[in-house]
Structure 1
Amino acid sequence: MVRVLWMAAGGLALLLGVVGIVLPLLPTTPFLLLAAFCFARSSPRLEAWLLGHPRLGPPIRDWRVEGAISPRAKTLAMIAIAATFGLSLALQLPARVLWIQAATLGAVTLFILTRPNPGRGAKPGSGP
């Protein structure tokens, strides 16, 4: 029964991750990481499929191996964060909401920007 719940959670996370590919404010990678986590507890076959997928697998592998986020993903995340805060400003949300949002988005930005870029097999010291 527990295995079925993990698999259902993994399927839902995968669905949300795939939807996030086309919806700019829905984060893709966190949902893919969650899907891999859930599938690791429910279906080694689905986990292997997800990790081996040519488009969905690399960000998961980068995170697992190096704790890394690609420069492209960082850029897209910064665009989404700026758009979210810009929309909040345009909607003239209350100041306390904006301050809370600014603090939260600032912390998320700091976290994302301090993650390393994936090495992609490069030798240490061979370049940036």
Structure 2
Amino acid sequence: MRRFTLLLGFLFTGLGFLGSFLPVLPATPFFLLAAYFFSRSSPRLEAWVLNLPQVGPVVRDYRAGRGIPLRAKALATALALLGAFLSLLRLPHPLAQALVVGLIAYGVYFIWKKVPTKTPTGQGR
């Protein structure tokens, strides 16, 4: 099981780095998953993810229950909606379109209703 979680950690780390360069693919959720799987398999790699300069503070804040900044929520929502729009243009099947809309809607709901918004004082509300 340790090897499987290590493999998943590497997979999500790779997707996270890919998301850092592709505007439609979010990076942070993949790094959150990578940190989770590395916590189950390799404390050294978990520490590495937590100490990445751009992503580490966001992952640490999320884990501590402080949430994510309002700006990050707005950016994630805008990119998700852009991705959904582009997908709807390219997907010919109505069932696939409905699936994309449903997944994006749940993601946006989760970001705004389930994840606390980090305030300037560092506390989630």
TM over 0.5: same fold? Answer: yes
Is 1:42–2:41 an aligned residue pair? Answer: yes
Cα 1:120–1:84 change in 2 (3 A) is same
Match of 1:118 in 2: 118
Aligned Cα root-mean-square deviation (Å): 2.5
Match of 1:33 in 2: 32
TM-score, scaled relative to structure 2: 0.80
Give me the whole-angstrom Cα distance separating, in 2, the residues matched to 1:36 and 1:67: 17
Cα 1:106–1:44 change in 2 (3 A) is same
Give me the whole-angstrom Cα distance separating, in 1, the residues matched to 2:85 and 2:6: 37
Give me the whole-angstrom Cα distance separating, in 1, the residues matched to 2:120 and 2:47: 19
Deviations 1:62-115 (A, max 9, x none): 111116122232122112222122223433734444344333322221211222
Match of 1:103 in 2: 102
Q: Which runs of 5+ in 1 are unaligned?
A: none
Give me the whole-angstrom Cα distance separating, in 2, the residues matched to 1:33 and 1:7: 14
Residues 66 and 123 in structure 2, CA contact (< 8 A), matched pair in contact too = no
Q: Percent identity?
A: 37
Give me the whole-angstrom Cα distance separating, in 2, the residues matched to 1:87 and 1:29: 21
TM-score, scaled relative to structure 1: 0.78
Give me the whole-angstrom Cα distance separating, in 1, the residues matched to 2:4 and 2:68: 29
SS in 1 for 2:47: helix
SS in 1 for 2:76: helix
Residues 66 and 118 in structure 1, CA contact (< 8 A), matched pair in contact too = no
Aligned pairs, how many?
Answer: 124
Match of 1:3 in 2: 2
The structure that has the greater radius of gyration is 1
Cα 1:89–1:34 change in 2 (3 A) is closer
